[in-house]
Amino acid sequence: MWMLNLIPDGYLSVLVHGVLVVSILGTIAGWWMSILPPFQLYAPFVKYGFLTLLIVSVYLAGGLGPERAYREKIAALEKDIKTANQRSEKVNTVIETKIVEKIRKVKDVQIQVVEKIIEVEKTIDAKCDLDPAVISILNEAAKGPTE
Amino acid sequence: MKNLTLLFLLTFALLGCTTTVTRPFPPVPAELKEGCPTLTMLPENTEKLSDVLKNVSGNYAQYHICKSKMELWIEWYNTNKKINDGIKK
């Protein structure tokens, strides 16, 4: 039935049934031609040609129902996908707004912490004598595991 | 020749064109595709506790930003999975 796939929706039924009717009439005409002397020479070509067309058109006509159902299902699925894509776009907008907001809040807190450090830095630096081991241990922790 | 023609017609009839309807993976916000940055290290000659505090608080801030991105990535994934599962197949 893949051949029906090639025919647009509007023409599908008309075309298939039209060919069916033509092939029936052609087959009948072929039988008549075989009994009329002037046309007897061409009768086999007409009869068997239209008979072949009749077989093909019956086959296609039988596939019309499933083809229509299949096309409706595809259309419904494409509509669902379009809706899903629109929803995903909205989700992205919401997430992007949240990211910006969260980063802003973290940086605000960071600024406040640095201000507090600056307030007390003279006092704490005077009281504390840093051992170099502190720096190397902190840096080792910051580096993390080697891969 | 006749058999070859018949075989060709039979193959032609059996070959099917199928219509596939697919949904591409939805695009991810650019910020969620960025990895977490490496932590800032202290210069070897650091002597002041205030410098250590600034460095540590800066690394904590980086962690919180990364944590937020991770949580939003999970939210993005779960929401899009629900949307995808909602498509009637």
Q: What is the ipTM of this complex?
A: 0.76
Is residue B43 predicted with pLDDT exceeding 90? yes
Task: Tell me the pLDDT tens digit for each residue of A23-72.
Answer: 999 988 888 888 888 878 888 888 888 888 899 888 888 888 888 888 88
Rg of chain A over Cα atoms, rounded to whole angstroms, equals 41
Phi, psi of A128 (to 5 degrees): -115, 130
* Contact call for residues A81 and B87 (beta carbons, < 8 A): yes
Q: Which amino acid is at B18?
A: T
pTM given for the model = 0.72
pLDDT at residue number B63: 95
Nearest to B17 among A2, A92, A134 (CB): A2
* Contact call for residues A65 and B75 (beta carbons, < 8 A): no
The pLDDT of A9-31, averaged and rounded, is 86
Residue B54 CB-half CA count within 13 A = 18
Give residue for tokens 């990895």: B35
Please check whether residue A134 touches B, CB under 8 A: yes
Conformational region of residue A28, where left means phi above 0, alpha means psi within -120 to 50, and beta covers everything else: alpha
Is residue B15 predicted with pLDDT exceeding 90? no
Q: Which of A51, A58, A50, A49 is nearest to A17 (CA)?
A: A58
Q: Running DSSP on this structure, what letter comes out for residue A3?
A: G
Distances (CA, A) of B43 to A141, B27, B47: 14, 40, 9
The pLDDT of A101-126, averaged and rounded, is 95
pLDDT at residue number B12: 54
Task: Tokens for A136, please give them.
Answer: 């190397």
**A111 CA: distance to closest CA in chain B (Å):** 10
* Contact call for residues B64 and B17 (beta carbons, < 8 A): no
pLDDT at residue number B38: 92
User: What is the Cα–Cα distance from A11 to A67, expressed in whole angstroms?
Assistant: 13
Is residue B33 predicted with pLDDT exceeding 80? yes
Phi, psi of A34 (to 5 degrees): -70, -15
User: What is the Cα–Cα distance from B54 to A137, expressed in whole angstroms?
Assistant: 16
Which tops the pLDDT comparison, A2 or A46? Answer: A46
Q: Which of A48, A69, A54, A1 is nearest to A24 (CA)?
A: A54
User: What is the Cα–Cα distance from B47 to B40, expressed in whole angstroms?
Assistant: 17
Nearest to B72 among A98, A132, A136 (CB): A98
Q: Among A135, A140, A147, pick the best mutation site for testing chain B contact (most B Cβ within 10 A).
A: A135
Is residue B10 predicted with pLDDT exceeding 70? no
Interchain pair B27, A92: CB under 8 A: yes
pLDDT at residue number A146: 73
pLDDT at residue number A60: 84
**Chain-wide mean pLDDT for chain B?**
85
Helix axes B49-85, A132-143, angle to 10 degrees: 10
